[in-house]
């Protein structure tokens, strides 16, 4: 199976990573995600990595890329479901997932995205008032 499915859930997109990412698969995922964000004007991307037992520098870079690309498309990325052992290994390897926000599980990730959407709407509202 050559593509990782992207599920639309309201304003957000959900991706579950269950297989080892290799070059072509990661590339497909990045372009599919960008296209889906653009198509549905999605406001957030949730990446579930609960089935991932090791994050190496390649995977870390892919996650970082997705976060940056989504940000440019005005969508926030949250990585959810990281196994404790993976977090420990990340730190031990000195890999910091720069620019990637994380949450404990999908539900908490969605709450986080919703609160971020709320905050940015309020800020826009404040800016509008300032301009008047």
Residue ranges binding its own copies (CB under 8 A) = 1, 3-5, 7-10, 14, 16, 18-20, 48, 50-53, 81, 105-107, 110
What is the closest distance, in whole angstroms, from the C-beta atom of residue 51 to its own copies in the complex?
5
Strands 101-103, 76-80: parallel, antiparallel or unpaired by DSSP? Answer: parallel
**How distant, in Å, are the alpha carbons of 1, 24, 113, 130, 132 from that of 78?**
25, 23, 8, 31, 35
Closer to its own copies by CB, 56 or 124: give it: 56
Select 103 or 129, whichever has its Cβ closest to its own copies: 103
> Least Å distance between CB 54 and its own copies?
10
The side-by-side arrangement of strands in the sheet containing 101-103 is: 6-9, 12-16, 44-48, 76-80, 101-103
Torsion of CA 94, 110, 77, 37, to 10 degrees: 160
Residue 75 or residue 109: which is nearer to its own copies going by CB? Answer: 109
Q: How far is the CB of 6 from its own copies (least distance, A)?
A: 9
Looking at the Cβ atoms of 61 and 108, the one nearer to its own copies is 108
């Amino acid at each position: 199976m050559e593509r990782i499915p992207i599920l639309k859930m309201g304003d957000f997109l959900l991706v579950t990573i269950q297989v080892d990412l290799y070059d072509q698969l990661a590339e497909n995922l990045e372009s599919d995600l960008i296209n889906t964000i653009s198509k549905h004007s999605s406001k957030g991307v949730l990446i579930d990595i609960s089935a991932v037992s090791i994050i190496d520098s390649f995977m870390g870079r892919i996650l970082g890329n997705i976060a940056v690309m989504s940000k440019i498309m005005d969508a926030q990325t949250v990585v959810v479901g990281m196994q404790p052992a993976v977090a420990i290994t990340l730190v031990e390897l000195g890999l910091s997932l720069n620019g990637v926000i994380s949450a404990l599980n999908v539900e908490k990730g969605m709450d986080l995205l919703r609160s971020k959407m709320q905050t940015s709407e309020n800020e826009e509202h404040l800016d509008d008032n300032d301009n008047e």
